[in-house]
Amino acid sequence: MGFPQIRLRRLRSNPALRSMVRETVLRPCDFIMPLFVCSGRAVETPIESMPGISRMSVDRCVEECRRIGKLGVNAVLLFGIPDTKDETGECGADDHGIVQQAVRAIKKALPDLLVITDVCNCGYTTHGHCGIVINGRIDNDRTLEVLALQAISHARAGCDMVAPSDMMDGRVGAIRRALDAAGFIDLPVMSYAAKYASAFYGPFREAADCAPRFGDRRTYQMDMTNSDEALREVALDLEEGADIVMVKPALAYLDIIHRVKTTFNVPVAAYNVSGEYAMVKAAAQKGWVRDDCIIMEILTSIKRAGASMIITYHAKEAASILREAYSR
Ligand code: PBG
């Protein structure tokens, strides 16, 4: 049967019908809000290339988390901006480090909020690379030890999940073994499994002060042209014990999200990154797009592609938009 018996427009004829046949529905609890934590008190430094996003001291972070939670967003992802860095990034494993302080404060004030920590070296090394540099090269295996120490330190501080973003080979296994040995057998790992070398990270590197001082990240992050390789990355991370696998960035990689979801049928996270956020905000500031509509369209596309959860700087505003839509 076809036209004229079949008319797909019938089910589009009014808002009630449209909402009944909607296939993809966003919820505030789908979102994870990234936060940049720095030292000090009452510090809130706006990040120029990410309008609406600031670096915040621990006290301000706790307040922000309270607002986030009230909107129905259940999770935050913490990035630390330490006062001092070192050659190996080992300062990231300091139990009194900035992320560790933030985790303790947030969990104390808001025990039900899920606190996820980004585990990586780039924010803690003087050279800004995600691994230990030896003779100008990133040493994979020695980096694993430092990453494992950092993950355990976050766990001791009380985080609910660790998210390694460095793209060293074998790091999920190394972190899993270290967590288990330290007694954190129930702490899940969300791995940045298919993380591409991307120009969309530009604003983040300003925010987290982690741009590499020499070279680039192409020897460890994935080449943007590859899709089969993403499946191999995900397969290995799952074998090593990853509980959630992430695809990053999101918007230019919707095909990867979809392939990962249909191939593995595991929880997939997508990271709607800083450059994607900045593009929307810049166009909206010029009055060229309506950011509320564009945000929902983008986030819906990421979920429709197969993401179970979306890490996004739009989390707060998207949750507010959903609230308003439901209260109408
Ligand atoms: C650190 C890290 C980066 C992002 C998350 N973790 C930057 C990078 O790899 O250069 C990017 C997040 C964003 O752009 O929003 N390894």
Separation of alpha carbons 195 and 169, rounded Å: 12
Does residue 165 fall inside a structural domain? yes
CB 148 within 8 A of CB 120: no
Minimum-distance ligand 1 atom for the alpha carbon of 130: 16
Q: CATH number of the domain at 287, please.
A: 3.20.20.70
pLDDT attached to residue 110 = 98
Any atom of ligand 1 within 6 Å of the Cβ of 125: no
Binding site membership of 165 for ligand 1 (Cβ less than 6 Å): yes
For the chain, which ranges sit under pLDDT 50? none
Per-residue model confidence (pLDDT) at position 327:
66
pLDDT at 328: 59
* 13 is a domain residue: no
What one-character DSSP code corresponds to residue 201? G
The Cα 59–Cα 132 span in angstroms is 32
Cβ 192 under 6 angstroms from ligand 1? no
Cβ of 274 closer than 6 Å to ligand 1, yes or no, is yes
The pLDDT assigned to 325 comes to: 83
Q: Which of 55, 120, 302 to mutate to test the pocket of ligand 1 (most atoms within 8 A of CB)?
A: 120
Number of domains in the chain: 1
Is 81 within a domain?
yes
Q: How far is the CA of 24 from the centre of ligand 1 (A)?
A: 28
Query: Residues 58, 42: contact at Cβ < 8 Å?
Result: no
Determine the distance separating the centroid of ligand 1 and the alpha carbon of 11, expressed in angstroms: 42
In a domain, 5, yes or no: no
- Global pTM reads 0.97
The answer to whether residue 254 is domain-embedded is yes
Bridge partners (DSSP) listed for residue 98: none
Q: Give the ligand 1 atom nearest the CA of 211.
A: 10
> Which atom in ligand 1 lies closest to the alpha carbon of residue 201?
14
Ranges of H-type helices in the chain:
15-20, 58-70, 98-109, 140-157, 171-181, 202-208, 228-239, 254-264, 274-285, 291-305, 315-327
Q: What range defines the domain where residue 89 resides? A: 22-327
In a domain, 11, yes or no: no
| 232 within domain boundaries | yes
Percent of the chain with pLDDT over 70: 99
**Does some domain include residue 136?**
yes
Query: In this predicted model, what pLDDT tens digit does every residue of 152-205 receive, in sequence order?
Result: 999 999 999 999 999 999 999 999 999 999 999 999 999 999 999 999 999 998
CA of 7 to the centre of ligand 1 (A): 46
Ligand 1 neighbour 118 (Cβ under 6 A): yes
Q: Give the pLDDT of residue 209.
A: 87
Q: How far apart are CA 314 and CA 321, in angstroms?
A: 10
